[in-house]
Structures are given as C-alpha cells and as structure tokens.
Structure 1
Amino acid sequence: MRTLWLSLLLSAAFAAVSSQSLAGETRAAQILDRFEHANQWRDHVMIAAHRAGSMQAGKTLYAENSLAAVEGSIAIGAEIVEVDVRRAKDGAFVIMHDSWLDRTTTCKGEVVKYTLAELQKCRLVIEGTGAVTNETVSTLREMLLTTRDRILI
C-alpha cells in the first residue's frame, strides 16, 4: 500500500512538472515528445541514467542519486534520470537508494530513523573511491526543481 501511495505521489509530481514543460519548447518537452511518439523516432536511442548517472565511461564520477550526478547526466546528453525515493522519520521525501545510509553517506543507520534536518548533515560519498563530497542528501523537491524542463525523471 505504501509503495502504491508513493507511486501515485511520484506520478502526480511528474505530471505536474511535465505539464508545465509542455507549454514551451524546453529540452524536457522535446524528450517527452520523443518518448511519447517512439514509433516516429525509431532511429533514436534514448539514454537513461541509473541512480542519476553517477557512473560515466565505466568510472564512478559522482555520488549516486546526487544533484551533481544529474548535472553530469544532462551535460553528456542523457534524456532520463532514474532516482530512488525514501521517506525520512518526519515524513519528508528524500533521494536515497539504500534503506541504510552507511554505503552512500558519512552517516550510519536507517534513513527512516533520521529527520530531514539530520539527513541534510550527511555528506554523500562517491562509491568505490570513498571520496566525501560537499553534497548532502537531497529532497524530492530539490531533485524535481533541478530536473525541471531539462531532463525526464
């Protein structure tokens, strides 16, 4: 039931962002047109970036599900970013793949046991290198604002 509710919320958020994009010829509107009319674009291969595109050319360049990864994906021409949404202790929607913070941040423990304010003190880590970034856990709202009119999510 919780998954269904989250899916409906994300669909509504996507629809709101997408409908605003369709008013003009934004990059996202062009991508959405290619997506919706795929038969007319048979020679076009759409590029989707998994976990916001943290890995490029076989190397992990950005923390997964980070705003920097989204920017990198846009810069190389990706048309869709896939991100993961979890709920914080206070009900806030945050961008995080794992249910635990240990692998991808400087914090330890379950996402659901932290409030948004606490999560925003956790710095993101680049997997494989262990490099700590200046980025913290993003909210769904921040992710939608970053991607708006630029790339599908």
Structure 2
Amino acid sequence: MDTGFTRSVAVVGLAGMLMLAGCTAGSPDPEPSLPDDGAPGTFECLEVSPSVLEAIASGAGDLALTPTEQSAAVASPSIPDAYLVAAEYDVAGFNYEVGVWMVPTLDGEPSEIAAVDEVSQQFTAYPTTFGGQTVSLTDGAVDAVIGCIG
C-alpha cells in the first residue's frame, strides 16, 4: 500500500541534499557579517584609493610603510560617515602586516585617520579616537574588513 509517505520523504531528502550541495560545491564565501546583536547583517567590501593608503603610510614616521595591492574598506556600523580600511603594508624589517584604520573618505586625502587595531597602533602614530569617539573593536567590522582582503 503506497501512502505517499515514502515518496514525500525521498523528495524532501533529495531537496535537502541539493541545498547542501549548493552551499558547498563551488559557491563563493558569504560576505563577512556582524554577530546577531541587532547590528546590520552584512558589510559591503569597498575599494580604497591609493591616496588614502599613502596618507595612512605617512603616519609611520621614520618607519617605511609601503602599501601592497591588498586593501579594502567597509562602512563603520558604529560611527557615521566613517570607513574601516584594512590594508597590507610591506613594513621594513617586519615583512607584510595587515592593519585596520578608520577614515572619513575612500578617495582623496582623509582629514582624519584613527588607528583601530594592534597592528595599526604599533606601526603608525594615529590616535585611537575618531570624531571624538573611541573606535570599538567589538562590532564585528574589523574582522569583516580584514576578511574582505582575504
């Protein structure tokens, strides 16, 4: 006696396998996202102009920071009109280092730069505040922007 139950289970099982295959076989990595704490769900990876990268490097004083082609930005979820920039620099004596800075623009000369993570604070002399606000490392955006440059 065919109740349709066996057929339904087979269809559901096949649909589940197809969904799993679609998630793992050749699909691109998802956009980096914030933890589920009421903040926006995803970040858009943005391009950074060479002038912003050079401005960041100028904060290194006597230490030579040379930007590589690895950089990206995301809009800050916690400070309006600000971007977190992750950039890889060739640092004399240290090889390649990835740091995170905050800037108000992704084109042209930024009017303000803040050092966000340990690397940026170690290699540049920028403050850890932006627009009078302390930059937070807990909103997920730092990991997201570093993930943008892979």
Please, what TM-score do these two structures have when normalized by structure 1? Answer: 0.27
Say which one has the larger Rg. Answer: 2
Q: Structure 1 or 2: larger helix share?
A: 1
Q: Structure 1 or 2: larger strand share?
A: 2
Please, what TM-score do these two structures have when normalized by structure 2? Answer: 0.27
